Structure 1
Amino acid sequence: MIKNISISTFVNIIFSLAFLSIFITFAMFMTYDKQKHELSLQNRYELIAENFLTAFQNQPTSDTLLDLYKKFRVSPVQEREEKLEIIKKAQELTITQTYLGTYRVYKYNEDYYIYVQQFGYNIMLKDARNHRYSMAVIIIGFIISIITFLFLYEILKRKLKPLKILNKQIIEFSNGKKDIKIKCISNDEIGTIAKSFDEAIKTINNQSKSKDLFMRNMMHELKTPITKAMFIAETLDDDKTRENLQKAFKRMDDIIKELATVEKLTSQNTIIYKEVTRFFNIYTKTLEIMMINPENITAKIRDFTFEADSYMFSIALKNLIDNAIKFSPNKNAVINANKEKIEISSLGEPLKNELEYYTEAFSQEEKRSDGFGLGLYIVKTIVNMHGYKLLHKYENGKNYFIIDMTK
């Protein structure tokens, strides 16, 4: 599961857990510190009470009591009404009985009082020290920790920002945007990756331009001599020789057309021009491109309208029908079309490999003199550009190539 989480999400999760840990840690520390403060007060008042109870045992003088007041920084409450008000309204924190006597600790208006009682003695002492529990130091520490934490988080986010930009540019490049310029804005590992990727883009673009230039020049240079050769072959008197030459030159011309189609489909500027059209119009255009006798095709078409690039779709349909006729023992193909699917079937042996193998460029089941391994590659590319799927199945001795038009 962790492997599928992006780095940014992972960092956010880690920092969220760290923030929660800081909050819990400070909450626990505050609870512990408050308990420690209360325990310290309890020990102080126990010590004061025991000292006064011990002094009462020896019938202390006024000077003895005055020394104890100064030592423990307490003062006696003289007024009886004030004593009664404290006993009545104050919060009683503890009451302790010892063999020396009894003492109580009260909290009243944020002040602490120790009420010491022994047979013959009864005195209430006010703690002169300020023992109010303050969370100021803890809060300041918590704020400093959060500020430091957020500062580190922001630094890390900024450090990872170039990686997000690089990832976005890589996705754009994979989607066909070839003119991306990667800027190296740092000298760390991310900057090194960005620099390497930018160099890779330049290399790929240069190779693509070289390939395109080579393909165009090659097709241009071959087209003229083939046309001349076909014209010369027409003048030969020997029918068999003329027919063989024309067949060979026709095949060469078909190969050049296939290469031209591939070059166009793989070009970074490839755009399909969709228009609302009827399938029967595309089928008619396909027959014109194939230049074959329609008697080899059994058409079961339920006409429908859809959006398509008429020229491109006709090429895809032409290649499917051409393959069905070419590799069928009876040289016949059946086309069954409706708004959900276009199905081309023919008799033949089952494919030895999965469909994906044959939709790769220059893939063939076996070496043939009449194929260049580009037909199904062109079909799949055009079908995918229209948002459809190319499928295959084999039933009852027939191969079915299907353009699934359900989205």
Structure 2
Amino acid sequence: MKRHAVLLTVLFALSVTLISVSYIFWEFFQLNYKRYVNNIFNKHSIITQLFHEYQQNRSSLAIFEANLAIYNMSTISEKSSKEILKKGKILKEDGEKQIDSTIFFSKDMIYRQNVTSHMRTTMLQYKRSIYFYINSDTGTIMIIDNSLKPYKPWSLISAYVSIISIIIISFMLILQRLRPLIRLFQRIALFGEGNLNVSFKVKGSDEIAVIANELETARIKINSILEARTLFLRNIMHELKTPIAKGTIATQMLDSQKQRDRFTSIFGRLETIVNDFAMIEEVTSLTCKQEFSEYRLVDIIDGAIDMSMVDGVHVSVDVSASVKMNANYRLYTTAIKNMIDNAMKYSPDKHINIVMKEEELCFESNGEKLKHPLSFYIEPFSKESPSKNSFGLGLYLVDSILKAHKQVLAYEYEEGVNRFIFAKDV
């Protein structure tokens, strides 16, 4: 979801826009339709007046139909009326009272008699025609209005389709402009995986093209810096190894055994530091991620024990042979070897237990609790006191290797036991 947040946001905006426009047009259609029905329903006042006069014998049927013809209306037979009432759609209906006054004369006085009658008018739509059905106390009649036609919202539909089309085309153009951003994301992912030759260059002058071309410039600079760094480290390590090797050979020519042992230890320490630098350079290099394969964890641990050259009695391993992991074999064995070396240096009984707990590899050894947080010891050349026995680059190298394997180094202390953990990075 997060990887497609921009695309989802655009699609959400498109959906909200389409729904809003559709709702507005629907409300407008309802309002327009209601107004149309009300306007044509006003004609029923003329019809009821003519019908009322006809019922009161103020005019004959021929005159009544002639009056209707003036307004382009005509009567419908009773049979057709029943079908229209049954199948037609009622648009609107209204009822009213009619009061008729009749004057009577007698010998003594003149008086007026009012007669009230109820009349109900219903407007119907049937087969693309508009009908008026009048029902009163004295009779009923169905009249067709030949001048009226059902409501046709073609102009409104045309406007709706046009606006919706414009909105969809606009959003499609937006998505089209975002396609280079998706390609740019894919190239950045490849660059992060170690493909330093991927190109970010994009033709154009818009914002995305400017960003992509700036990334291309940054990529070229990063490659140049990495090449210079790699060349510098390799050259300096090569130049250091030569005098170390000569010094080691010259040490053997010293007469004093004490001096010979001292210089041998110094040059051995220097060689270890140079090798650690070489390992750090490989760990931080992006190309090492391409050398990962699946191995049994017990095989990696056995390789680390052999590399550390300690007696097997000093190391206890409780790891299932079925546990496998995707790793760079040489780097991961180096990380485990450094943990074994630290235990041999700082544990009073010179013993380490390597066990699996909750799918995490643990290194347990007896000893005093660390005086500082673990973050202090994973810095290069960190040590608690100025002595020859220091953590040096050991834990720093372990931490760097674990990060390359998407793991972290953790630490616990419990009842005299130091426990270092290769934990999953969350």
Query: Residue 97 in 1 paired to residue 97 in 2?
Result: yes
Residue among 317, 330, 350 paired with 1:332: 350
Greater share of strand: 2
- Offset at 1:62? 11
- CA distance in 2 between counterparts of 1:61 and 1:272 reads 106
- Could you report, residue by residue, the CA deviation over 1:373-399 in whole angstroms, capped at 9, with x for unpaired residues? 432232234345556654321122442
- Three-state SS of the structure 1 residue aligned to 2:287 is coil
Q: Quote the Cα distance in structure 2 between the aligned partners of 1:67 and 1:299.
A: 119
State the partner residue of 2:191: 173
- Deviation, 1:311, is 3.5
Tell me if 1:286 matches 2:307: yes
Aligned partner of 1:399 in structure 2 is: 418
Distance in 1 (CA, whole Å) between partners of 2:261 and 2:408 is 39
**Is the CA contact (8 Å cut-off) linking 1:280 and 1:303 kept in structure 2?**
no
Cα distance, 1:401–1:3 mapped onto 2, change above 3 Å: closer
- Comparing 115-124 and 155-164, the one that deviates more: 115-124
SS at match of 1:98: strand
Instruction: Report if aligned partners of 1:383, 1:403 keep a CA contact under 8 Å in 2.
Output: yes
Q: Which moved more, 1:257-266 or 1:96-105?
A: 96-105
In the TM superposition, residue 333 of structure 1 has moved relative to its aligned partner by 3.9
Say whether 1:85 aligns with 2:84: no
For 2:314, the equivalent position in structure 1 comes to 298
Q: Is the 8 A contact 2:364 2:417 kept in 1?
A: no
Give the structure 1 partner of residue 245 of structure 2.
227
Q: Which residue of 1 aligns with 2:372?
A: 352
Q: Is the 8 A contact 1:301 1:338 kept in 2?
A: no
1:86 to 1:345, Cα distance in 2 relative to 1, 3 A: same
Alpha carbons 2:362, 2:421 under 8 Å: kept? yes
Deviation at 1:10, TM superposition (A): 1.5
* Distance verdict in 2 for CA 1:106–1:310, change over 3 Å: closer
2:42 corresponds to which residue? 43
**Deviation larger for 395-404 or 298-307:** 298-307
CA distance in 1, matches of 2:307, 2:155: 84
Residue 283 of structure 1 and its aligned partner are, at CA, apart by 4.6
Aligned mate of 1:206, from 224, 229, 234: 224
Q: In structure 2, the residue corresponding to 1:401 is in which secondary structure?
A: strand
Residue 181 and residue 71 in structure 1: after superposition, are their counterparts in 2 closer, same or farther (change >3 A)? same
Letter in 2 for 1:349: K
Residue in structure 1 matched with residue 165 of structure 2 by the alignment: 147
Relative distance call for 1:156 and 1:279 in structure 2 (3 A) is: closer
Is the 8 Å Cα contact of residues 343 and 400 (structure 1) preserved in structure 2? yes
Which amino acid in the other structure matches residue 412 of structure 2? K
What TM-score do you get using the length of structure 2 for normalisation?
0.77
What residue identity is the alignment partner of 2:14? Answer: F
For 2:342, the aligned partner's letter is: N
Greater mean deviation of Cα atoms: 221-230 or 51-60: 51-60
Label 1:227 to 1:372 Cα distance change in 2 as closer, same or farther (>3 A). farther
**What secondary structure sits across from 1:218 in the alignment?**
helix
**1:90 aligned counterpart, secondary structure:** helix
1:342 deviates by 4.2
Q: Alignment partner of 1:6: what SS? A: helix
Aligned amino acid, residue 238 of structure 2: H
Structure 1 regions of 5+ residues with no counterpart? none
Within 5 Å, give how 1:198-277 maps onto structure 2: 198-270=216-288, 271-272=291-292, 274-276=294-296
How much has 1:20 moved relative to structure 2? 1.4
Q: Does 1:343 align with 2:363?
A: yes
**Which letter maps to 2:252?**
E
Alignment check: 8 A CA contact 2:402 2:409 kept: yes
1:165/1:357 CA distance change after superposition, 3 Å: farther
For these two proteins, the number of residue pairs brought into alignment is 392
Q: TM (normalized to structure 1)?
A: 0.80
Q: Which runs of 5+ in 2 are unaligned?
A: 101-116
Counterpart Cα distance in 1 of 2:304 and 2:138: 122
Aligned CA-pair RMSD: 3.9
Alpha-carbon deviation of 1:268? 2.3
Letter in 2 for 1:97: K
Show CA shifts across 1:294-317 (max 9, x none).
49x732234753556554333222
Report deviation, 1:228: 0.6
Q: Residue type matched to 2:316 in 1?
A: K
> Which runs of structure 1 show a deviation greater than 6 angstroms over 4 or more consecutive aligned residues?
2-5, 54-58, 60-67, 115-124
- Aligned CA distance change for structure 1 residues 109 and 397 (closer, same or farther; 3 Å): closer
Q: Structure 2 CA distance, aligned partners of 1:104 and 1:318? A: 100
Q: How far apart in 1 are the matches of 2:415 and 2:142? A: 109
How far 1:255 moved relative to its partner?
0.6
Report if aligned partners of 2:304, 2:333 keep a CA contact under 8 Å in 1. yes
User: Which amino acid counterpart does residue 321 of structure 1 have in structure 2?
Assistant: I
Percent identity among equivalent residues? 24
